[in-house]
Amino acid sequence: MVIIGAGECGTRAAFALREAGYDGTVTLVGAEAHLPYERPPLSKESMVDPEAPSIKAIADAARLAEHHIDLLGSTSATSIDRANCSIRLTNGSDLDYDKLLIATGSLPRKLPLQGLGLRCLDLRTFDDALAIRAHLHAGSHIAVVGGGFIGLELAASARNLGALVTVIEAQPRILMRGVPAEIAQVVHEAHDAEGVDIICGDGIASIEDDGASVHITLSSGQVVAADLAIIGIGALPVTALAETSGLALNNGIAVDARLRTSDPHIFAAGDCCSFPLAIYGDRRVRLESWRSAQEHGVLAARNMLGAEEAHAAVPWFWSDQYGLTLQIAGLPDEGELTVRRDLDDGAFILFHLKNDGRLVAASGIGPGNAVARDIRLAEMLIGKSARPDAVALASPSTKLKSLLAA
Ligand SMILES: Cc1cc2nc3c(=O)[nH]c(=O)nc-3n(C[C@H](O)[C@H](O)[C@H](O)COP(=O)(O)OP(=O)(O)OC[C@H]3O[C@@H](n4cnc5c(N)ncnc54)[C@H](O)[C@@H]3O)c2cc1C
C-alpha cells in the first residue's frame, strides 16, 4: 500500500490500514521535511505562540514505527506508471504498489500578478507560518488579500500580536463562499471591534514591493501600504500526478463514492479530490476540511483493502476567530428556507431547509463551544434526511435530541 502525501488524510489512511488489520507494507511518501502535522493551528493558536509557531504533530516517529509505517520524508512522487503499478520518486527510485492513494492536498491559489516579492506570502505549510510570523508584531501593518477563513484567522492572530490589519476582499462581503450573510456579519463586526479595517468590493490592480514595504493598488485607485501582504484567495487541488497519468479530473481528482479514481488500483482522498455526496443527490463536491480529510483517509484505507464502503459523512467545518467559533454542518447553499435559533450569549444557529422541510445544513456562531452541541445534533438530523418541525427548531427550549428521536 503506497500513499502519496503525508498530510492529514494520507497519515490517517496509513494508520487506518493497520487498524483494519492490514499487515503488509505501508509506505507514506511526503514532500515536506517535517513529521506529519496539523494545519488548522497554523493560522490560529500556533501563530500566536509567544515564542514562534510550533508544530502539532499528527504522529511522531515512535508511533509511525510502532505501526510499521515507512515515512519517506522530503520525498515527492514525480510520476505514476499505471501500466506497471509503480511511482517514481524525487530520489530517482521507483516504488511498486498494489493499491495507491493520492492524498496530495491543495495549495494556495496565486494572484495573477507579476513581481510579487518576499513581502507577499501565503499560508499552507509550517514553513509558511514561520515566514509570516516573522512579520507579525506590535505596530507592523499587515494587509490580508482575501476575506476567506484563512485570511480572517490570520487577521485575528495578527491583531492578537498587536499588528495593524487591513483586509481586502473583492466580493461584496467577507466569507462569500459557503457562509450565510448573517454569520459573516457577526465575523465582520468582531473584526471591526478589534480594529481591523475591512475593505469589501474592491479588487487588486497591482502590488509593488519597494524593498521596504508593499504598496497594494486597489481597483478603485486606493493604495494600501503594508509591511507584509498575506494572500488568502483560496486553494487549488494538487492534481499534477493524476493529470500526467491520465486519471479523470473534475474540480480535483474525480473519484466515486468509494474514493476510487478512474483507475481501480488508485484512490484519491482529502482536499485533492472531488466526490459525489449521496445526501445531496450525488452532487459532486471538493471539500477543504480537516475532519473530511480524516474521514476520507479512513474510508480510502478500508476500500483499498476491498471494503467497498460508500462515503456517507455529512460535511463539517469550523473556524476560530478571537473568542468566536463558527461551525457549519452540511452545505448551506442546498437550503431554500432558513430558520434561526437563538442561544445564550449572542450565539445562534441557522437551520437550512428544503421547501419540503428536509434539513440540509446548519451553521452557527457564538463564543467558545456555544453552538457545538446543537450543530452536532443537527448533523445527525441532516444525515437522517430528517424533516424537523420548523417551530421546534427555532425554539431554544426544544431539545434537538428529542427531534432526533422523533
Ligand atoms: C492554515 C490552515 C488552517 C486551516 N484551518 C482549518 C479549520 O479551521 N477547519 C477545517 O475544517 N479545516 C481547516 N484547514 C483545512 C485542513 O487543514 C485541510 O482540509 C486538510 O489539511 C487537508 O488534508 P489533506 O491530507 O488532503 O492535505 P494536506 O494536509 O495539505 O496534505 C497534503 C500533503 O501532500 C504533500 N504532497 C503534495 N504533493 C506531493 C507529492 N507529489 N509527493 C509527495 N507529497 C506530496 C504535501 O506536501 C502535503 O504535505 C486549514 C488549512 C490550513 C492550511
Among candidate residues 231, 259, 274, the one where a domain is terminated: 231
Task: Tell me what percent of the residues of the chain surpass a pLDDT of 90.
Answer: 96
Sign of CA dihedral 63, 65, 70, 74: positive
Q: Where are the alpha helices (DSSP H) in 32-123?
A: 61-66
Report helix, strand or coil for 291: helix
Please indicate, yes or no, whether residues 134 and 120 belong to a single structural domain of this protein: yes
Please indicate, yes or no, whether residues 221 and 276 belong to a single structural domain of this protein: no
Residue 400: phi and psi, rounded to 5, are -65, -25
Q: Is residue 312 predicted with pLDDT exceeding 90?
A: yes
Contact 266, 100 (CB under 8 A): yes
Task: Tell me what percent of the residues of the chain surpass a pLDDT of 70.
Answer: 100
Please indicate, yes or no, whether residues 149 and 201 belong to a single structural domain of this protein: yes
In a domain, 381, yes or no: yes
Contact 177, 184 (CB under 8 A): no
Q: How confident is the model at residue 118 (pLDDT cuts 50, 70, 90)?
A: confident
For ligand 1, pick from 157, 271, 286 the residue to mutate: most ligand atoms within 8 Å of CB.
Answer: 271
In a domain, 313, yes or no: no
In a domain, 312, yes or no: no
- pLDDT of 400 reads 93
For the entire predicted model, the pTM comes to 0.97
Q: In this structure, which amino acid lies at residue 396?
A: P
- pLDDT of 405 reads 86
- pLDDT of 51 reads 86
Please indicate, yes or no, whether residues 371 and 290 belong to a single structural domain of this protein: no
Contact 196, 155 (CB under 8 A): yes
pLDDT 10s digits, 189-215:
999 999 999 999 999 999 999 989 999
Under the phi-then-psi rule, with left for phi > 0, alpha for psi from -120 to 50, and beta for the rest, what region is 61?
A: alpha
Point out the ligand 1 atom lying closest to the alpha carbon of residue 291. 11
Point out the ligand 1 atom lying closest to the alpha carbon of residue 288. 19
Please indicate, yes or no, whether residues 222 and 117 belong to a single structural domain of this protein: yes
Neighbouring residues of 384: CB distance < 8 A, sequence distance ≥ 6:
404
CATH number (domain holding residue 388) = 3.30.390.30
Please indicate, yes or no, whether residues 13 and 103 belong to a single structural domain of this protein: yes
- pLDDT of 406 reads 80
Cα atoms found within 13 Å of the Cα of residue 252, Cβ hemisphere only:
28
Q: Is residue 2 predicted with pLDDT exceeding 80?
A: yes
Q: Which residue puts its alpha carbon closest to atom 4 of ligand 1? A: 40
CATH number (domain holding residue 273) = 3.50.50.60
Among candidate residues 175, 207, 231, the one where a domain is terminated: 231
In a domain, 311, yes or no: no
- pLDDT of 204 reads 96
Contact 311, 27 (CB under 8 A): no
Residue carrying C-alpha cell 515507512: 70
Question: What DSSP character marks residue 34?
Answer: S
Among candidate residues 168, 202, 231, the one where a domain is terminated: 231
Radius of gyration of the chain (CA): 22
Contact 4, 266 (CB under 8 A): no
pLDDT 10s digits, 385-401:
999 999 999 999 999 99
Please indicate, yes or no, whether residues 239 and 222 belong to a single structural domain of this protein: no
Distance, CA 37 to ligand 1 centroid (Å)? 9
Report helix, strand or coil for 315: coil
- pLDDT of 6 reads 98
CA dihedral 125→62→13→320, nearest 10 degrees, is: -40
Least confident of 114-128, 171-185, 217-231: 114-128
Cα atoms found within 13 Å of the Cα of residue 405, Cβ hemisphere only:
5
Report helix, strand or coil for 50: coil
Contact 196, 173 (CB under 8 A): no
C-alpha cell at 320: 476560530
Question: Rounded to whole angstroms, how far apart are CA atoms 10 and 363?
Answer: 28
What's the whole-number mean pLDDT along residues 172-188?
97
Q: In this structure, which amino acid lies at residue 406?
A: A
Residue numbers of the domain that contains 198: 110-231
CB under 6 Å to ligand 1: residues? 4-10, 29-32, 39-40, 42-43, 76-77, 103-105, 123-124, 150, 238, 241, 270-272, 288-291, 293, 317-319
C-alpha cell at 324: 468566536
- pLDDT of 267 reads 99
Question: Rounded to whole angstroms, how far apart are CA atoms 203 and 206?
Answer: 9
Distance, CA 167 to ligand 1 centroid (Å)? 24
Q: Is residue 21 predicted with pLDDT exceeding 90?
A: yes
Distance, CA 311 to ligand 1 centroid (Å)? 20
**Average of per-residue pLDDT values in the chain:** 97
Q: Is residue 310 predicted with pLDDT exceeding 90?
A: yes
What is the maximal distance between C-alpha atoms in the chain?
64
Angle of helix 290-304 relative to helix 8-19, nearest 10 degrees, comes to 40
Point out the ligand 1 atom lying closest to the alpha carbon of residue 272. 26
- pLDDT of 114 reads 80
In a domain, 310, yes or no: no
In a domain, 294, yes or no: yes
Distance, CA 23 to ligand 1 centroid (Å)? 27
pLDDT 10s digits, 237-287:
999 999 999 999 999 999 999 999 999 999 999 999 999 999 999 999 999
* Beta bridge mates, 282: none
In a domain, 26, yes or no: yes
* Beta bridge mates, 260: 267
- pLDDT of 15 reads 98
- pLDDT of 223 reads 98
Please indicate, yes or no, whether residues 280 and 340 belong to a single structural domain of this protein: no
What's the whole-number mean pLDDT along residues 210-226?
96
- pLDDT of 211 reads 87
Q: Is residue 115 predicted with pLDDT exceeding 80?
A: no
Burial 367-393 (b: 16+ CB within 10 A, else e): eeebbeebbebbbebbeeeeebeeebb
Question: Rounded to whole angstroms, how far apart are CA atoms 326 and 367?
Answer: 9
Point out the ligand 1 atom lying closest to the alpha carbon of residue 129. 1
What's the whole-number mean pLDDT along residues 340-344?
97
Q: Which residue puts its alpha carbon closest to atom 29 of ligand 1? A: 7
Sign of CA dihedral 7, 13, 17, 19: positive
H or E stretch at 133: helix 126-133
Neighbouring residues of 9: CB distance < 8 A, sequence distance ≥ 6:
103, 105, 269, 270, 271, 293, 294, 296, 297, 300
Q: Which residue puts its alpha carbon closest to atom 53 of ligand 1? A: 124
Structural domains in the chain (count): 3
